[in-house]
Structures are given as structure tokens and as C-alpha cells.
């Protein structure tokens, strides 16, 4: 602690991202990146935008990208906004819609950045325990609160919640904002974007880091009623006029337009996920039903941390959360078929 830090800075408990060791080459199954490169059209669009116009500020309102996303989802431009990764948009949303004093609700097992944002903006929260099978107890969200955030499919369990259950929560909480974090929605889930016209209190946040293979470009999307989007814009324009650079804008537009590549890579990842899940079950793993680009797994006879270390020693990184209820689970991102064959092979060394 430094005497120069503000009380707010002293009070923080910063988020810790998945490790990115540089000591050797790993098969990286620890940060839910896509194993596939971005679309060739995206690469081309970025290279074309890498020109003398980089001397000029980007469009602070992201008009072209917003129009492209709006068209894709059947929304208006006023119902769409973008940010420097979905993390930035989550932070903006916490600040724009949640007030200190009233408790924000989210599941006890969730994306670990949510409590970090609460500390950052001095917000109160209460975690709602998932049931023993990690399902969201919908009724627990039908009560007085200061706002709700739920990821769907859920981080880090990969489990998916049906649109009707979410609708029940949105419907009950008409005076509060309900944020649905759909970082992983494209891997088999149904987006609640279609409910935006009906519910002014619904905010949907997505990312291009997973299904669009662009984690390195930093591009998040937020969708909701125009009054919610205006709230996001107020924060953004009080923070950074130009949070998304020219190259990210150019790449993101093309990523949305190249639907064929998007569908193809997502289908490959789902296909890989399914055979890996089967093999893991044959090896005695519990494998939670996944609609994401990762699996959440646990072995009845082998401690998760032991498996984690064994994998790491053999050049494979997965994510292990030393936290209550999930400290015997591993989160394993879906790689290419050959990545996953190696993963299974290394596991077999330990388990068979």
C-alpha cells in the first residue's frame, strides 16, 4: 500500500486473468480463446485499414459497426454500442445502472470480475447460491434488488439457462436493469437479444473474443433499449472519447459480415467439444452440459489440482479456480481436434 493511493484504490481486489507463461510453448486451454484464426476477410480488412488514416481519431460513435450489428440482430443503431472488450462494457454498465446501497444479485459461482466491479464502484452485492447441479434458482431473483447480472452460458460452468427462465427474471424486475452476459452464447445457446424490443430493462453484453476469434483485437458489444444504451454512452463519454481503435472497428465489421466463416468455426468447436466430453465421461469425469467453448470437469478419484499440475508439466494449460464449491473442477477451453487429442493423451497418462 502506498500513501499516494486513494481509499478506492486501496480497497480494490483486482481480477487475475488466466496465466500467460512464456517459459515454453503450451497448448493454451486456459482463457477460452478460439483455436481458430480470425476470418481471412477480417485479416484483409484490418490490413486495408492499416494506412495513413491511422493518424486520425477513430469514429467516436462507431456508426458503421453499430449499423452492421443492428442489421445482424434486427435492432436499430440506437440499440447497439461497442467497447474495448466486453470487460470495459461490463464496467460501464455497473457504473451506469447500479447504485451503492441496494444489493446487486448474481450467482455465487460466476465470472469473477463481477465482485471486482462492485468494489471498483463501491456497490453492494449479494450472491445467490446455485443449486447442487450449478443451476440458477430462478425464484431467488424474484425479490427486491439493485440490479441483476447473470452470464449465460455461465462462466465458469458452461451451463446454459433457457430463454424462458431469463424472461421470468426480466419480467419480474421491470424497474431494475438485468444484464445478461452472453460471452459464450454463440456455441449453442439462444440469445436474449430478441427480447430487447419487449423489455426496456434488459441489457445484453457480447464479445468478439470467443466465437469471432478476435481476443487480441478487444471488441465488445452491448445491446439494449436506447435509454440503456444512452446510459452506457454517458459513462463512455465521461471516460474516453475513443475507446475502440480504427483497426478494431474495421475488423469487427468484417467479422460480423463473414457469417459463413463464423458458422463454420463455431460448428467445428461444438463438434470437438462433443467428442471430448464423451471421452472424458468414459474416463470417469463428471462433465457439465456445455453450450460454451469450454468444459467444466471433475474427476471422482483424482484431485483437480493434481490433474492441473500434471497437465501443466506436460505442456497443457487449463484453468483451476481455488474457490469454494469449484475447487475440484477444471475449466478446459476447446482447442483444435489435435490439441484435444493431446489433452486426452496426457490425461490418460495420469488416469488410466
Q: How far is the CB of 55 from a second copy (least distance, A)?
A: 4
Measured from the CB atom, the residue of 33 and 182 that comes closer to a second copy is 33
Q: Which pairing describes strands 294-299 and 285-287: parallel, antiparallel, or unpaired?
A: antiparallel
Contact 246, 65 (CB under 8 A): no
SS3 breakdown of the chain: % helix, strand, coil, rounded to 5? 40, 15, 45
CB atoms within 10 A of CB 79: 23
Chain positions 190 to 209 lying near a second copy, rule: CB under 8 A, are 200-201, 209
Min. distance of Cβ 270 from a second copy in angstroms? 17
Least distance in Å: CB of 209 to a second copy? 7
Instruction: Report the DSSP beta bridge partners of residue 148.
Output: 105, 178
| Rounded least distance, CB 182 to a second copy, Å | 18
Alpha-carbon gap, residue 341 to 352, rounded angstroms: 15
Own/partner contacts of 256-264, CB < 8 Å, gap of 24 or more, are 256/65, 256/68, 256/69, 256/72, 256/212, 257/41, 257/68, 258/39, 258/41, 258/42, 261/39, 261/40, 261/41, 262/39, 262/186, 262/211, 262/212
d(CA 127, CA 106): 5
Q: Measured from the CB of residue 170, what is the shortest distance to a second copy in angstroms?
A: 13
CB distance 156 to 292 below 8 Å: no
Least Å distance, CB 190 to a second copy, is 24
Q: Does 218 bind a second copy (CB under 8 A)?
A: yes
By beta-carbon proximity to a second copy, the closer residue of 203 and 307 is 203
| Closest to a second copy by CB, 179 or 185 | 179
Q: In angstroms, how far is CA 73 from the centroid of its own chain?
A: 19
Residues 167-186 that bind a second copy (CB under 8 A): 175-177
Note whether 189 binds a second copy by CB under 8 A. Answer: no
Site residues for a second copy, 6-35, by CB under 8 A, read 6-9, 12-17, 20, 28, 31, 33-35
Cell 419480474 sits at which residue? 172
Q: Which of residues 273-312 bind a second copy (CB under 8 A)?
A: none
- From the list 186-194, 236-244, 278-286, 312-320, the region that binds a second copy by CB under 8 A is 236-244
* Cβ proximity to a second copy, 22 vs 322, nearer residue: 22
159 or 331, CB closer to a second copy? 331
Binding to a second copy by CB under 8 A, coded x per residue (else -) over 240-259, reads: xxxxxxxxx--x--------
183: left (phi over 0), alpha (psi -120 to 50) or beta: alpha
CB of 37 to a second copy, least distance (A): 3
Strand partners, 256: none
Of residues 200 and 257, the one with the C-beta less far from a second copy? 200
43-82 residues in contact with a second copy (CB under 8 A) are 43, 46-47, 50-60
13 grid coordinates: 481486489
| CB nearer to a second copy: pick between 111 and 285 | 111
Residue list 114-143, contact with a second copy (CB under 8 A) = 116-117, 119-121
Size of the site for a second copy (CB under 8 A): 86
Backbone torsions φ then ψ of 311, nearest 5 degrees: -60, -45
Nearer to a second copy, 28 or 299 (CB): 28
Amino acid at each position: 500500500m502506498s500513501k499516494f493511493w486513494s481509499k478506492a484504490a486501496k480497497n480494490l481486489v483486482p481480477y487475475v486473468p488466466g496465466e500467460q507463461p512464456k517459459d515454453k510453448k503450451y497448448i493454451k486451454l486456459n482463457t477460452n480463446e478460439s483455436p481458430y484464426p480470425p476470418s481471412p476477410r477480417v485479416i484483409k480488412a484490418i490490413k486495408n485499414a492499416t494506412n495513413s488514416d491511422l493518424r486520425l481519431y477513430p469514429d467516436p460513435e462507431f456508426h458503421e459497426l453499430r449499423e452492421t450489428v443492428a442489421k445482424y440482430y434486427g435492432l436499430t443503431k440506437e440499440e447497439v454500442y461497442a467497447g474495448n472488450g466486453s470487460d470495459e462494457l461490463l464496467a460501464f454498465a455497473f457504473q451506469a445502472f447500479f447504485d451503492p446501497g441496494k444489493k446487486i444479485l448474481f450467482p455465487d459461482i460466476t465470472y469473477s470480475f463481477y465482485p471486482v466491479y462492485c468494489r471498483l464502484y463501491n456497490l453492494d452485492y449479494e450472491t445467490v447460491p446455485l443449486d447442487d447441479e450449478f443451476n440458477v434458482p430462478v425464484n431467488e431473483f424474484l425479490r427486491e434488488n439493485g440490479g441483476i447480472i447473470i452470464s449465460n452460458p455461465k462462466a465458469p460452468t458452461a451451463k446454459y439457462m433457457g430463454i424462458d427462465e431469463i424472461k421470468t427474471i426480466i419480467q419480474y424486475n421491470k424497474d431494475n436493469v438485468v444484464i445478461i452476459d452472453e460471452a459464450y452464447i454463440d456455441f449453442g445457446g439462444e440469445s436474449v437479444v430478441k427480447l430487447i424490443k419487449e423489455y426496456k430493462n434488459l441489457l445484453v453484453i457480447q464479445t468478439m473474443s470467443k466465437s469471432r476469434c478476435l481476443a487480441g483485437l478487444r471488441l465488445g458489444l452491448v445491446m439494449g433499449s436506447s435509454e440503456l444504451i444512452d446510459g452506457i454512452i454517458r459513462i463512455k463519454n465521461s471516460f474516453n472519447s475513443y475507446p475502440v481503435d480504427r483497426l478494431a472497428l474495421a475488423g469487427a465489421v468484417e467479422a460480423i459480415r463473414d457469417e459463413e466463416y463464423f458458422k463454420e468455426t463455431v460448428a467445428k468447436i461444438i463438434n470437438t467439444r462433443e467428442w471430448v466430453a464423451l471421452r472424458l465421461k468414459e474416463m470417469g469425469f463428471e462433465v457439465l452440459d456445455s453450450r460454451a467453448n469450454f468444459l467444466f470437469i471433475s474427476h471422482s478419484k483424482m484431485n483437480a489440482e493434481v490433474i492441473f499440475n500434471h497437465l501443466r508439466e506436460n505442456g497443457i494449460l487449463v484453468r483451476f479456480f481455488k474457490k469454494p464449491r469449484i475447487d475440484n473442477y477444471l475449466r478446459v477451453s476447446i482447442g483444435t481436434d489435435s490439441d484435444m487429442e493431446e489433452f486426452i493423451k496426457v490425461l490418460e497418462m495420469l488416469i488410466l
